[in-house]
Homo-oligomer: A and B are copies of this chain.
């Protein structure tokens, strides 16, 4: 995809980059350079399958329900024996027995006869409808009075009406929801074949980072803990590659370790165009094709780099925590969906009125963090005041994003705009 690296006569003003690639195009380039083989699969017990991606179609090996069953409590009858019954002209049937639920009925129901049955009971032979208990009265002489007629199959759950034998019930690529687990249980499955969870390795780089201990010269690493949590949130396994200082050899070695153990490698910092921003060269030294896109038309997160090394994606995120997290959401989330061949449920989007003007950057997609409140049945979006991508508290205070597209200069105060919610709004 070398043709994608169009170099312009001068850099994009103030960015240090010769060219910025639009988000959508960057994703397209990344996907086009990935191998087409899907992830391998594994068998899991149904009780741990929530959220896993089905690796094969689930076909029913039987009818559900397997036999005709009562769908109401009442009397199992032959419908024609009830024709004409009304409150003013009731009919009488002979009560010949009772169907016990969970058993094969041993009661014989002949012409003009009925058996009492409860919901879920198997319909006895020669019966085809249920008169609801509300429309019946049992007399002491062994007769039962009915004052409502039923047509054939009325109040009966027919064999196979839920699922016919041989039908595909759940398609490969489905992310298993609770009701799907219930369905597969009903089909008698106790294990299913699912796509292996993608393994995502996360490395932080920077001499200034400490792993927890607070000293005047070091900063606790915010990126790795946030990104590892984000990996878990996507239903993937995280591999913690730790922190390394700004040393090309150490970074290189740790990335190789990640490439051996993971399906995706994420590394933060060193991805800009300054004198110490070595990441593109380090990644290119690992294998082919190397860096595919460096510099994205989005703010924040512009210095993000997307690479593929020997068939595995390597995502080079900016060191600023807000940039790193937004680029993760924008690139790693679709990448995971692509690898497991299954979309995520979209985020909730609400319409809110801006309480002040927000500016975009023409040519770049701009992410504005906002705080949403609901008052008088209307949502108000208040942009979180922040001076940069280093302000992690902006993502902590916000409950949504407004995305200003590449071709828009911004949105006006009072304008109703779409907000992607990531936290509940305040009431």
A residues near B, CB below 8 A? Answer: 14, 16, 46-47, 49-51, 62, 64-67, 71, 73, 100-104, 118-122, 133-134, 157, 161-163, 169-170, 174-188, 190, 206-209, 212-214, 216-230, 232-233, 245-246, 272, 274-277, 319, 321, 325, 342-349, 387-388, 390-393, 395-396, 421-424
Contact of A182 among B179, B181, B185, B223 (CB under 8 A): B223
What's the least CB distance linking A125 to chain B, in Å? 14
Task: Assess whether A423 is in contact with B274, with CB atoms less than 8 Å apart.
Answer: no
Further 16 A-B residue pairs, CB within 8 A, beyond A50-B233, A179-B321, A342-B424: A47-B225, A49-B229, A71-B390, A73-B274, A102-B218, A120-B319, A179-B392, A179-B396, A181-B229, A182-B223, A183-B395, A185-B220, A186-B392, A190-B212, A345-B423, A346-B424
Task: Assess whether A319 is in contact with B179, with CB atoms less than 8 Å apart.
Answer: no
Task: Assess whether A186 is in contact with B219, with CB atoms less than 8 Å apart.
Answer: yes
Using known A-B contacts A178-B325, A220-B187, A226-B178, determine if residue A390 contacts B208 with beta carbons closer than 8 Å.
Answer: no
Give the interface centre of A16, A67, A178, A220 by most chain B CB atoms within 10 Å.
A178
Across the interface, name the chain B residue whose C-beta is closest to A329.
B178
Task: Assess whether B212 is in contact with A188, with CB atoms less than 8 Å apart.
Answer: yes
Across the interface, name the chain B residue whose C-beta is closest to A424.
B343
Task: Assess whether A104 is in contact with B392, with CB atoms less than 8 Å apart.
Answer: no
Chain B contacts for A51, CB-based, 8 A: 233
What's the least CB distance linking A157 to chain B, in Å? 5
Please report the C-alpha to C-alpha distance between residue A133 and residue B14 in the assembled complex, in whole angstroms.
11
Task: Assess whether B180 is in contact with A396, with CB atoms less than 8 Å apart.
Answer: yes
Chain B contacts for A185, CB-based, 8 A: 212, 220-222, 224-226
What's the least CB distance linking A269 to chain B, in Å? 8
Chain B contacts for A46, CB-based, 8 A: 225
What's the least CB distance linking A322 to chain B, in Å? 8
Chain B contacts for A183, CB-based, 8 A: 222, 226, 392-393, 395-396
Chain B contacts for A245, CB-based, 8 A: 102
Chain B contacts for A225, CB-based, 8 A: 46-47, 181-182, 184-185
Task: Assess whether B222 is in contact with A71, with CB atoms less than 8 Å apart.
Answer: no
Across the interface, name the chain B residue whose C-beta is closest to A212.
B190
Chain B contacts for A396, CB-based, 8 A: 169-170, 179-180, 183
Task: Assess whether B16 is in contact with A274, with CB atoms less than 8 Å apart.
Answer: no
Chain B contacts for A206, CB-based, 8 A: 101-102, 120
Closest 3 A-B residue pairs measured CB to CB? A182-B226, A102-B207, A73-B274
Give the interface centre of A169, A225, A277 by most chain B CB atoms within 10 Å.
A225
Using known A-B contacts A73-B272, A120-B206, A186-B222, determine if residue A162 contacts B233 with beta carbons closer than 8 Å.
Answer: no
Task: Assess whether B182 is in contact with A62, with CB atoms less than 8 Å apart.
Answer: no
Chain B contacts for A276, CB-based, 8 A: 73, 101, 118
Contact of A179 among B16, B66, B226 (CB under 8 A): B226
